[in-house]
């Protein structure tokens, strides 16, 4: 007998529908899975067999063939177990799944028949909806997430044994409640950073306007400490961003799924594919995992040249297209870049008499700070060692206070551009509409000539000045806003 069900396999961050056909014929007992399964899918045979027997079903001692279509799409992971089990039970005449015609299944089987959660449940539920499936059955741990998807019925079952109720014409399992966004635990607070007023201000501007930030200074000055507190001053994600962030976190297994904005800090040995996505099997890179949050590149001068170069285009466009034999996929990657660097290999900086680094070594080391990537980073600040008084003094403003100002500035931007768009992403048309007074405009122009700014740098000064004005709730960009913005571009001044 022949039976079929629907399942999903993950491809990048998308869930692709898979038809699972199972045929049971008389013949020597065997169980074959064809249709480009990976090792985890092929091993489903053993899990399905043990789970069905342990749940009291009769396992057919016949020739069993499972086909996964389309045959040219690679099927990955253990998430197809439940769909295989259901189709096999139906083909063997153990249950009648007519009641579930048009339903899809996702879930990994334990040997006792209970279901283990899968990755990408939200993407699968959304794909079930757009694919015209009547509903999706999956493990309880994935229920809340899947129920966030609109236009598809979701039910959760604990064990494959619950499919037995189909014989009485009932739907198995229960309908889960949609998961809610909850900010997970307190984050490290910016009050921990002593002194470094300039860096604090740069962090606030970066958080408010979504501007990239490069911090250069000697080791132990608090650069990493400050960057790791960036998320504590970011505004909460809006409902659209919550879904976007959750979809990615769920596929990548980097939960919590409905928690905060992501903070990714890949080690400097990361490859270009690890950073921007790709590789075999192709998957999202760090920039996609950082979507809606922060990508922190600590010691940016130590990163591979190729990896940093690969960042340029996605930094501007907010998305990355991965091309491979089976087609192309565009992944979102709107993140705020925060980078930290020492001024030279020894870290002291050339002004320090103790620095013994040769000019050529320093130049090579700082290549990352002067190239095309650095030109795309809006804020560029230098820090010094904090003074003894600063280290012994009282703590500065805490994250909650700074965050309030950031949220207020973001609200101004949302009113101006629409949802989830910041000044950093303002395009030429937005800049043409920029409200700027005459004195401020002439300051931009004279700085442009005096510092020999690139056209891109000129626009970046305007964007940063707009954010500074928004933080002060000023309608027009004024002279002091432009002056502050220029102050945040250390590289152009030297
Ligand atoms: N400005 C500062 N405020 C508070 N602590 C600091 C500061 N600078 C350095 N420290 C202390 O030194 C440690 C190392 O700082 P870190 O941020 O890693 O330095 P960097 O990244 O600049 O090399 C921190 O964990 C903290 O204990
Ligand atoms: Mg550091």
Boundaries of CATH 3.30.230.10 in the chain? 2-168
Which of 199, 222, 340, when mutated, tests ligand 1's pocket best, judged by the most ligand atoms within 8 Å of its CB? Answer: 222
How far is the centre of ligand 2, averaged over its atoms, from the C-alpha of 224 (Å)?
A: 4
Residue nearest to atom 10 of ligand 1 (CA): 222
The pLDDT score that the predictor gives to residue 493 is: 44
The pLDDT score that the predictor gives to residue 163 is: 92
The pLDDT score that the predictor gives to residue 262 is: 94
Boundaries of CATH 1.10.8 in the chain? 426-494
- Mean pLDDT for back-to-back runs of 10 residues, the chain (494 residues): 94 92 96 94 96 96 96 92 96 87 94 96 95 93 93 95 85 90 85 93 97 94 95 93 93 83 96 87 89 96 92 91 78 95 86 84 82 86 91 89 97 92 91 90 90 85 96 94 89 48
Ligand 1 pocket residues where CB is under 6 Å:
192-196, 219-225, 340, 386
Boundaries of CATH 3.40.50.300 in the chain? 190-396
How far is the centre of ligand 1, averaged over its atoms, from the C-alpha of 127 (Å)?
A: 46
The pLDDT score that the predictor gives to residue 494 is: 42
Decide which of 3.40.50.300, 3.30.230.10, 1.10.10.10, 3.40.50.2300 is the CATH code for 190-396: 3.40.50.300
Full 3-state SS string of the chain: CEEEEEEEEEECCEEEEEEEEEEEECCCCEEEEECCECHHHHCHHHHHHHHHHHCCCCCCCCEEEEEEECCCCCECCHHHHHHHHHHHHHHCCCCCCHHHCCEEECCEECCCCEEECCCCHHHHHHHHHHCCCCEEEECHHHHHHHCCCCCCEEEECCEHHHHHHHHHCCCCCECCCCCCCCCCCCCCCHHHCCCCHHHHHHHHHHHHHCCCEEEECCCCCCHHHHHCCHHHHCCCCCHHHHHHHHHHHHHHCCCCCCCCCCEECCCCCCCHHHHHEECCCCEECHHHHCCCCEEEECCHHHCCHHHHHCCHHHHHHCEEEEEECCEEEEEECCCEEEEEECCCCCCCCCCCCCCCCCHHHHHHHCHHHHCHHHHCCCEEEECCCCCHHHHHCCCCCCHHHHHHHHHHHHHHHHHHHCCCCCHHHCCHHHHHCCCECHHHHHHHHHHHHHCCCCHHHHHHHHHHHHHHHHHCCCCCECHHHHHHHHHCEHHHHC
The fold of the 2-168 domain, in CATH, is: Ribosomal Protein S5; domain 2 (3.30.230)
Does the domain at 426-494 match CATH 1.10.8? Answer given as yes
């Amino acid at each position: 007998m022949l039976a079929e069900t629907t399942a999903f396999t993950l491809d990048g961050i998308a869930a692709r529908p898979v038809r699972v056909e199972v045929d049971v014929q008389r013949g020597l007992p065997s169980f074959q899975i064809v249709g480009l399964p990976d090792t985890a899918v092929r091993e489903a045979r053993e899990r399905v067999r043990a789970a069905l027997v342990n749940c009291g079903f009769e396992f057919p001692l016949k020739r069993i063939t499972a086909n996964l279509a389309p045959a040219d799409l690679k099927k990955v992971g253990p998430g197809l177990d439940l769909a295989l089990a259901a189709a096999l039970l139906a083909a063997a005449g153990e249950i009648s799944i007519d009641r579930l015609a048009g339903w899809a299944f996702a879930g990994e089987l334990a040997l006792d028949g209970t279901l283990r959660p899968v990755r990408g449940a939200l993407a699968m539920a959304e794909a079930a909806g757009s694919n015209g499936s009547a509903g999706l059955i999956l493990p309880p741990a994935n229920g809340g997430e899947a129920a966030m998807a609109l236009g598809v019925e979701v039910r959760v079952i604990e064990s494959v044994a619950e499919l037995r109720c189909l014989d009485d014409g009932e739907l198995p399992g229960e309908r889960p409640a949609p998961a809610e966004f909850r900010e997970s635990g307190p984050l490290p607070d910016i009050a921990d950073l002593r002194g470094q007023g300039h860096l604090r201000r740069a962090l606030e501007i970066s958080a408010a306007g979504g501007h990239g930030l490069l911090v250069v200074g000697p080791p132990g000055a608090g650069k990493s400490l400050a960057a790791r507190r960036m998320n504590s001053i970011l505004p909460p994600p809006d409902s659209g961003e919550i879904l976007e962030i959750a979809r990615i976190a769920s596929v990548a297994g980097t939960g919590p799924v409905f928690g905060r904005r992501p903070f990714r800090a890949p080690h400097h040995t990361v490859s270009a594919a690890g950073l921007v996505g790709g590789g075999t099997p192709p998957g999202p890179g760090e920039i996609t995992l950082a979507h809606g949050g922060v990508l922190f590149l600590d010691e940016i001068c130590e990163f591979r040249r190729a990896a940093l170069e690969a960042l340029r285009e996605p930094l501007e466009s907010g998305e990355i297209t991965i091309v491979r034999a089976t087609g192309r996929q565009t992944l979102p990657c709107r993140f705020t870049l925060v980078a930290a660097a020492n001024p030279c290999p020894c870290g002291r900086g050339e002004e320090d008499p103790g620095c013994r680094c040769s000019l050529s070594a320093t130049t090579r080391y700082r290549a990352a700070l002067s190239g095309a990537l650095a030109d795309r980073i809006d804020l560029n600040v230098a820090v010094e060692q904090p003074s003894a008084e600063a280290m012994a003094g009282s703590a500065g403003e805490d994250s909650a206070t700074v965050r309030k100002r950031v949220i207020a500035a973001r609200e101004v931007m949302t009113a101006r551009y629409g949802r989830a768009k910041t000044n950093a992403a303002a395009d030429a048309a937005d800049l043409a509409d920029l409200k700027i007074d005459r004195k401020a405009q002439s300051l931009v122009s004279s700085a442009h000539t005096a510092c020999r700014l690139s056209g891109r740098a000129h626009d970046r000064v305007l964007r940063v000045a707009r954010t500074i004005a928004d933080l002060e709730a000023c309608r027009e960009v004024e002279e002091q806003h432009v002056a502050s913005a220029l102050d945040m571009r250390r590289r152009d001044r030297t």
